[in-house]
Structure 1
Amino acid sequence: MEQSAMRIGTIDIDRPIILAPMEDVTDRAFRQLCKQHGADIVYTEFISAEALRRGVEKSIRKITVADHERPVAVQIFGNTVESMVEAAAIAETYEPDYLDINFGCPVKKVAGRGAGAALLKEPEKLSEIASAVVNAVSLPVTAKTRIGWDHDSINITDTVRRLEDAGIRAVAVHGRTRSDMYKGRADWGRIAEAKQACSIPVIANGDVWLPEDAVAMFERTGADGIMIGRGSIGNPFIFEQAKSLVKEGVRLSAPSYRQRIQAAVDHLRLSLEYKGEKYGVLEMRRHYSTYLKGLPGVSKVRNLLVREPDPAVIVELLREFEAACEALDREGLLKEGGENLNDHSPRLILNY
């Protein structure tokens, strides 16, 4: 299938590779890192409409965007027209490039309260919320959804038509149902059906782990863009790799251990800049294992990193680990991506 450039408002990008919204992941630090590594568009974490209306500090922090992130979208979720309209108006004042409505989150704290994917069971209400938000703001409004609530109620073609009729400018489709959560394989065939069912841009989402997956997703879905979520955690390099393969047919080398450790250091520094030392250190702890996955001694290194409160010491530990990997590399003992020498701590590795 041949794709044309994807247009949302003034944004016009050929086959964009997009960072998906992820709670506790796509904060300002991670968005900036992904932009530096080639993400065409980035999304904020999803933000509760009710929390935004109440001015909750964490929600205000989530919604704050910077010019170097652009194009950037703010995503909101809620289960009433009133709350979503008010939240959309607040979000607009923070000047994102567009707003996105979350009609796909499967987690209990969202769907269990009638928002996110739960609205797939109430298509009239979904349409009403989408239309009201579109009419409440001057920014373009998009939506992100799933193929259905469960496999007995797959309704993605009806959903995308409703969203288009409501004035939604583009829709991202995750190829799983709510009941799937994140298990099994995303159904790219259903995304292709969604693309055929509407005339607005469709962004395909689900199971892009490698650059080759990005190529295959474009080919099999006919989507206008693709969105990468879990495949980018600890691997912001996937955006430049996917873009190179999709747009130039050039396969870039996998990031080296040096590049991966440097990305962890950069991520920590950005986290400290935006959140301060206490939260910058705490919230970074979830990321070390993904940046260092497959390297020797990673479990013991991670245990040191997640217990250390001093960011200067964390950077020192990461640099020690890099030196240890270099020593193993010189001896031909480093095999990235596999289980090798995991019984060695970083300081023991330095003895090589």
Structure 2
Amino acid sequence: MQIGRHRIDPPVILAPMAGVTDKPFRQLCKRLGAGLAVSEMTISDPRFWKTEKSLRRMDHLGEPDPISVQIAGTVPELLADAARYNVDHGAQIVDINMGCPAKKVCNAWAGSALMRDEALVARILAAVVRAVDVPVTLKIRTGWDACHKNAPVIARIAQDAGVAALAVHGRTRDQQYTGQAEYGTIAAIKADLSIPVIVNGDIDSPRKAAEVLAQTGCDAVMIGRAAQGRPWIFRESAHFLATGESLPEPSLQEVRDVLLGHLRHLHEFYGEPAGVRIARKHLGWYAKDRPENTAFRAVVNRAESAAAQIALTAEYFDALIAGEPLSMAA
């Protein structure tokens, strides 16, 4: 798939997720096969660009190309300024958030709430596309609620405004993450557009990625929640799409090494104690599908320092690899 001058290969993309797709996680997912990893959303209000949180979100030093940065807001001029600012600080693709269903975002009429005002959507997209010389992409949902599914209209507005690619989460804002993704709606959008369309929602396995691409005719899949604790899903999906064959599950040794590397990067990126605190949710996600989940949580949640978190995690996995009883590891 092509976005401007950037070839996205493989066509398997990490979805932007607030509090999740930080630099350490993006780099990990890219290393494990993601063709593109979109950043957490950065606010368009310049008053907040110099905060510690925003500076971290805008840190792309050493990140593999292409660098895609998501911006959020409601005022066309501010979003245009935010796009220029992020391009000046390394963004090679600017993504506009009109898909976030979070209340605090929608209450400010940002995120998916923007889909309620098609005229404003058109002004925002035109302003951002004019502001930068890099590709602009857009992330939307199928609509605001069951009675207002206007994604096809927004999609056409986006293409006419010069947006380079469109990602569609197959749910309305009201659904949040409940129910099933509407692939039929996304297929209709893809059939109506000439720009690349990326399908998002409920893609939780390599086989599902292939099925959804075939069903919708889309150019790429976007994976979000299924990558939490399973960053290797990108290489598995890329391999299945290319060959029709399934890769074996990663070994305990590889899971341990991936996890320890992720922890060290989080500690380095955030420092203590923030890195330790943020790492806990990732540890929980890595363990969520494993039978020893409860015991693992009990071990790693005891850690109050980066060194202890690393040591306890390594000891726990080493015990599992050695085949020792879980009670000894815990």
- Both structures adopt the same fold (TM-score exceeding 0.5): yes
**1:280 maps onto 2:275 in alignment:** yes
Give the structure 2 partner of residue 171 of structure 1.
166
| Unaligned segments of structure 2, at least 5 residues | none
The counterpart of 1:142, out of the listed 137, 143, 147, is 137
| Unaligned segments of structure 1, at least 5 residues | 1-5, 330-340
The counterpart of 1:123, out of the listed 102, 112, 118, is 118
1:320–1:346: 8 Å Cα contact kept in structure 2?
no
Residue type of the partner of 1:132? Answer: A
2:159–2:193: 8 Å Cα contact kept in structure 1?
yes
**1:217 maps onto 2:199 in alignment:** no
- 1:296 Cα offset (Å): 4.1
**Residues 213 and 258 of structure 1: CA distance in aligned 2, closer, same or farther (over 3 Å):** same
- 1:57 Cα offset (Å): 2.4
2:269–2:275: 8 Å Cα contact kept in structure 1?
yes
1:52–1:59: 8 Å Cα contact kept in structure 2?
no
Q: Secondary structure at the match of 2:45?
A: helix
The counterpart of 1:203, out of the listed 184, 198, 203, is 198
For 1:218 and 1:175, the matched residues in 2 are separated by 13
1:160–1:171: 8 Å Cα contact kept in structure 2?
yes
Q: Secondary structure at the match of 2:138?
A: strand
1:19–1:34: 8 Å Cα contact kept in structure 2?
yes
The counterpart of 1:291, out of the listed 286, 289, 307, is 286
| 1:58-73 pair list within 5 angstroms | 58-73=53-68
Q: Secondary structure at the match of 1:173?
A: strand
The superposition leaves residues 192-228 of structure 1 with CA deviations (integer Å, 9 ceiling, x where unpaired) of: 0110121111011111111111111110111111111
Give the structure 2 partner of residue 102 of structure 1.
97
- 1:52 Cα offset (Å): 6.2
The superposition leaves residues 78-120 of structure 1 with CA deviations (integer Å, 9 ceiling, x where unpaired) of: 0111221121111111122210000110001111110010011
2:24–2:262: 8 Å Cα contact kept in structure 1?
yes
The superposition leaves residues 177-206 of structure 1 with CA deviations (integer Å, 9 ceiling, x where unpaired) of: 000000111111111011012111101111
For 1:48 and 1:223, the matched residues in 2 are separated by 29
For 1:86 and 1:54, the matched residues in 2 are separated by 11
| 1:220-239 pair list within 5 angstroms | 220-239=215-234
For 2:261 and 2:163, the matched residues in 1 are separated by 36
The superposition leaves residues 276-302 of structure 1 with CA deviations (integer Å, 9 ceiling, x where unpaired) of: 232211111111111122334321321
Residue type of the partner of 1:223? Answer: C
- TM-score normalised according to structure 2 size: 0.95
For 1:294 and 1:161, the matched residues in 2 are separated by 40
**Residues 285 and 52 of structure 1: CA distance in aligned 2, closer, same or farther (over 3 Å):** farther
- 1:127 Cα offset (Å): 0.9
The counterpart of 1:55, out of the listed 22, 25, 50, is 50
Q: Secondary structure at the match of 2:273?
A: helix
For 1:78 and 1:155, the matched residues in 2 are separated by 20
- TM-score normalised according to structure 1 size: 0.89
Give the structure 2 partner of residue 347 of structure 1.
329
For 1:299 and 1:326, the matched residues in 2 are separated by 18
**Residues 52 and 223 of structure 1: CA distance in aligned 2, closer, same or farther (over 3 Å):** farther
The counterpart of 1:161, out of the listed 149, 156, 159, is 156
**1:88 maps onto 2:75 in alignment:** no
Stretch moving more, 52-61 or 205-214? 52-61
Q: Secondary structure at the match of 1:38?
A: coil
For 1:51 and 1:188, the matched residues in 2 are separated by 37
- 1:313 Cα offset (Å): 1.7
2:303–2:312: 8 Å Cα contact kept in structure 1?
no
The counterpart of 2:258, out of the listed 260, 263, 278, is 263
For 1:177 and 1:231, the matched residues in 2 are separated by 19
| 1:177-192 pair list within 5 angstroms | 177-192=172-187
For 1:267 and 1:170, the matched residues in 2 are separated by 30
Stretch moving more, 275-284 or 39-48? 275-284
2:169–2:200: 8 Å Cα contact kept in structure 1?
yes
Q: Secondary structure at the match of 1:102?
A: strand
Give the structure 1 partner of residue 303 of structure 2.
308
Q: Secondary structure at the match of 1:219?
A: helix
Give the structure 2 partner of residue 247 of structure 1.
242
2:49–2:55: 8 Å Cα contact kept in structure 1?
no
Mark the structure with the bigger radius of gyration. Answer: 1
- 1:54 Cα offset (Å): 4.5
The counterpart of 1:317, out of the listed 304, 312, 318, is 312
For 1:306 and 1:105, the matched residues in 2 are separated by 30
**Residues 153 and 218 of structure 1: CA distance in aligned 2, closer, same or farther (over 3 Å):** same
1:261–1:291: 8 Å Cα contact kept in structure 2?
no
**1:12 maps onto 2:7 in alignment:** yes
- 1:68 Cα offset (Å): 3.7
